[in-house]
C-alpha cells in the first residue's frame, strides 16, 4: 500500500512539474511576443535576400534600395545573395523566415513564371510571400545581327512572318524572362520562329553577332554597347514606353500597333506570410519615399532601369496580370525549364 501511495505521489509531482513547465513556456513565449510588439520597428538590422549573384543588375538595384532603406529606417540593411534553382531557392528561404520584418525579399518576374514553368517549383506565389511594393522594371532590347536586311521592328516582323521557320532567336535559357519576351512577340505577331536557349545572355549575343542565330531580346546594358558599336542592329524595346537611355528605339507595341506586347523584368519587395500589416505598411512607405528621390531615379535610369513604387494592393493586382500573361504563354507553347 505504501509503495502504491508513493508511486501516486511521484506521478502527481511529475505531472505538476510538467504542467508548471508548460505554463512557464507559454508565459515566456507570450512575453517574447509582447516584447517584440512593444519594440519599435525596426530595432535591429534587416536582412534583404537577393535571388541573384552579386554584381549583376538585379543585385545592384537591390543594394541601391538597401542603402537608401538603411537611411530612411535608421538601421543596417544587409543584402544576402541566394542564387539557385531559377530563384526558387531564395523564394523558399523567405517562405521559411520568421514573419517579423527582419528578413525581406527582392522578388522578381520569376515569382509568377516559375510555378507555371517548373513542375517541382513547390510554391504558389499567392501564399508563399506577402507583397509590399513594386521597386523597379527594365525592358529588353530586340536586336539582330548585321546580316538581316530589316531596318525596323515592323520590317523584321514582316520578314519573319513571310519566312516561317527560317529564322531563330536566342535567350539566356528556357524560361528566362527574355525567352518569355520572345514567345510573347511570337504569339502576338503570329510568327513561326525557332527559339535557341543558351546558358546566359552573352553567349547567345556572341553567336548572334557571329551569325549562328539571327536575333534576341537582351538586357539594356548588354544590348546598348553592341548597338552603339555597330555590332548589332537595334529594333525596339519591350517596355510600354520608350526609354531615355535609347530614345531612338520605338517600343514593340508602338511599332506593331499591339498595345499588349509588353515584356519587362521587374522587381518588388516581399516579406514572409504572417508579417504584421503595420510592418508591411512601413516598408511600403519606405519604398515609396526612395522612389520619389530624383537623384536615385536618375542613377538607375542611366542603366535602363525605371525605379517604381506602388501600394501593396497595386503590386498584388500587377502580379495577377503578369501571372495570367506568362502562364498562358508557357502553356500554349509547352515551355519547360
Three-state SS annotation for the chain: CHHHHHHHHHHHHHHHHHHHHHHHHHHHHHHHHHHHHHCCCCCCCEEEEECCCCCCHHHHHHHHHHHHHHHHHCCCEEEEECCCHHHHHHHHHHHCCCCCCCEEEEEECHHHHHHHHCCCCCCCHHHHCEEEEEEEEEEEEEEECCCCCCCCHHHHHHHHHHCCCCCEEEECCCCCHHHHHHHHHHHHHCCCCEEEECCCHHHHHHHHHHCCCCEEEEEHHHHHHHHHCCCCEEEEECCCCCCCCCCCCCEHHHHHCCCCCCCEEEEEEEECCCCCHHHHHHHHHHHHHHHCCHHHHHHHHCCCCEECCCCHHHHHHHHHHHHHHHHHHHHHCCCCC
In CATH terms, are 46-138+265-332 and 139-256 the same topology?
yes
**Grid coordinates of 71:** 537611411
> Regarding predicted confidence, which is higher, 320 or 16?
320
Question: 192 falls in which pLDDT band (50, 70, 90)?
Answer: very high
What's the average model confidence in pLDDT over 223-229? 98
Mean pLDDT to the nearest integer, 149-155: 98
Of the CATH numbers 3.40.50.300, 3.40.190.10, 3.30.470.10, 3.40.50.1820, which one belongs to the domain with range 139-256?
A: 3.40.190.10
pTM value is 0.86
Q: Encode pLDDT of 7-36 as tens digits.
A: 444 444 434 443 544 444 444 344 434 444
CB of 59 within 8 A of CB of 79?
yes
Q: Which one is predicted more confidently, 164 or 3?
A: 164
Q: Is the pLDDT of residue 254 over 50?
A: yes
Q: Is the peptide bond before 42 cis (omega within 30 degrees of 0)?
A: yes
Residues 34-76 pLDDT 10s: 444 557 999 999 999 999 999 889 999 999 999 999 999 999 9
Domain boundaries, the chain: 1-35, 46-138+265-332, 139-256
pLDDT-derived band at 85, boundaries 50, 70, 90: confident
Q: Which of 45-49, 77-81, 83-87, 146-150 has the lowest mean pLDDT?
A: 83-87
Who wins on pLDDT, 326 or 19?
A: 326
Q: pLDDT tens digits for 127-143?
A: 999 999 999 999 999 99
Mean pLDDT of 260-275: 98
Lowest model confidence (mean pLDDT) among 96-105, 112-121, 279-288: 112-121
CA separation, residue 330 to residues 112, 117, 187 (Å): 11, 7, 11
Class of domain 46-138+265-332: alpha beta
Q: Give the percent of the chain with pLDDT over 90.
A: 82
pLDDT at res. 38: 58
Q: What is the pLDDT of residues 165-180, one digit of tens each?
A: 999 999 999 999 999 9
Cell 531557392 found at: 89
230 pLDDT above the threshold of 50? yes
Amino acid at each position: 500500500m505504501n509503495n502504491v501511495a508513493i508511486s501516486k505521489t511521484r506521478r502527481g509531482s511529475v505531472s505538476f512539474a510538467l504542467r508548471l513547465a508548460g505554463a512557464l513556456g507559454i508565459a515566456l513565449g507570450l512575453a517574447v511576443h509582447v516584447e517584440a510588439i512593444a519594440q519599435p520597428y525596426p530595432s535591429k538590422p534587416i536582412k534583404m535576400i537577393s535571388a541573384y549573384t552579386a554584381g549583376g543588375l538585379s543585385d545592384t538595384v537591390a543594394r541601391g534600395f538597401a542603402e537608401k532603406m538603411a537611411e530612411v529606417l535608421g538601421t543596417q540593411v544587409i543584402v544576402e545573395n541566394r542564387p539557385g534553382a531559377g530563384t526558387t531557392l531564395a523564394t523558399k528561404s523567405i517562405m521559411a523566415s520568421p514573419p517579423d520584418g527582419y528578413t525581406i525579399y527582392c522578388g522578381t518576374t520569376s515569382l509568377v513564371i516559375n510555378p507555371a514553368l517548373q513542375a517541382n517549383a513547390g510554391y504558389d506565389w499567392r501564399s508563399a510571400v506577402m507583397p509590399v511594393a513594386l521597386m523597379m522594371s527594365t525592358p529588353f532590347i530586340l536586336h539582330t545581327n548585321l546580316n538581316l536586311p530589316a531596318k525596323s521592328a515592323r520590317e523584321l516582323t514582316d520578314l519573319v512572318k513571310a519566312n516561317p521557320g527560317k529564322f531563330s532567336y536566342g535567350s539566356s535559357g528556357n524560361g528566362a524572362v527574355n525567352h518569355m519576351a520572345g514567345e510573347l512577340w511570337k504569339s502576338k505577331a503570329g510568327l513561326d520562329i525557332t527559339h535557341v536557349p543558351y546558358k546566359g545572355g552573352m553567349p547567345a549575343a556572341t553567336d548572334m553577332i557571329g551569325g549562328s542565330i539571327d536575333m534576341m531580346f537582351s538586357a539594356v546594358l548588354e544590348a546598348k554597347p553592341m548597338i552603339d558599336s555597330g555590332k548589332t542592329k537595334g529594333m525596339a524595346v519591350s517596355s510600354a514606353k520608350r526609354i531615355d537611355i535609347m530614345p531612338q528605339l520605338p517600343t514593340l507595341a508602338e511599332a506593331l500597333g499591339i498595345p499588349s506586347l509588353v515584356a519587362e523584368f521587374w522587381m518588388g519587395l516581399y516579406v514572409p506570410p504572417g508579417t504584421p500589416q503595420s510592418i508591411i505598411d512601413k516598408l511600403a512607405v519606405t519604398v515609396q519615399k526612395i522612389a520619389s528621390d530624383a537623384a536615385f531615379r536618375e542613377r538607375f535610369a542611366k542603366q535602363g532601369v525605371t525605379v517604381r513604387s506602388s501600394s501593396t494592393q497595386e503590386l498584388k493586382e500587377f502580379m495577377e496580370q503578369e501571372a495570367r500573361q506568362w502562364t498562358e504563354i508557357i502553356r500554349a507553347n509547352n515551355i519547360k525549364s
